[in-house]
Amino acid sequence: MKPVLFLPVPLALAAGLLSGAWLDTLLFSFLYLGTLCLAQRWRSDGWLLLFCGGEPLVLVTAGKSWEAAILIQFLVLWAALATTQDRSAPWVIVGAGFVLSGGAMIAALDEVVTALLAVGGLVLLAFSLVWLAEHQMKSRAEIGR
């Protein structure tokens, strides 16, 4: 496995220890590592699972440190790009746009509970759309053969 896949975990744990939210961060770090193991088995769709597994880690860090959350978000994106094939890279960017706009919504609302619900809905919508689009692309490619 590539080392970049593991980078979000130590950074999130360090931010969690410094901010006092180490238990939440530890829980979501294990979730990320679990999705990392599953992402290797999913092969071409593994990047999507890894991206979804990294978002709770970003959100729990965002509650305490915006700077660390932005850095973890970019590391999760980097890890997702490292696991994807070239044809899926634009869909990672589309998903990232939804997540980053969700982060802007958190900053605008300035209420963590409402913002987490809004971002959770946006993330779910984004990944549903990305999965559906990629599924359609794969089914068309199989039909064309």
In a 10 Å sphere around its CB, with 0-12 CB exposed, 13-18 middle and 19+ buried, how is residue 22 labelled? middle
Same structural domain, 73 and 20:
yes
Decide if 64 contacts 71 (C-beta within 8 A). no
Q: Is the domain of 63 the same as that of 130?
A: no
Are 105 and 56 part of one and the same domain? Answer: no
pLDDT at 109 over 80: no
Are both 140 and 96 inside the same structural domain?
yes
CA distance 61 to 68: 7
> 117 and 50 in one domain?
no
DSSP state of 21: -
Predicted confidence band at 125 (pLDDT cuts at 50, 70, 90)? confident
Q: What is the pLDDT of residue 30?
A: 92
Amino acid in position 129: L
Would you tell me how many other CB atoms lie within 10 Å of the CB of residue 95? Answer: 23
Q: Indicate if 108 and 95 belong to the same structural domain.
A: yes
Q: Domains in the chain: how many in total? A: 2
Between 67 and 106, name the one with better pLDDT: 67
- Lowest-confidence segment of 20-29, 57-66, 91-100 by average pLDDT: 91-100
- Separation of alpha carbons 145 and 141, rounded Å: 7
Give the integer Cα–Cα distance in Å for 96 and 109.
Answer: 20
- Show which of 85, 105, 130 is a domain's final residue: 85
Range of the domain at 57: 1-85
Same domain, 46 and 94: no
Better-predicted residue by pLDDT, 120 or 18: 18
* Whole-structure pTM value: 0.66
79 or 89: whose pLDDT is higher?
79
What is the greatest pairwise CA distance in the chain?
55
One domain, residues 8 and 77 = yes
**pLDDT at residue number 108:** 58
CA distance 94 to 89: 9
Q: Same domain, yes or no, for 96 and 32?
A: no
Which of 107 and 136 is assigned the larger pLDDT? 136
pLDDT for residue 60 is more than 60: yes
83 pLDDT band, cuts 50/70/90, is confident
Residues 3 and 18 in one domain: yes
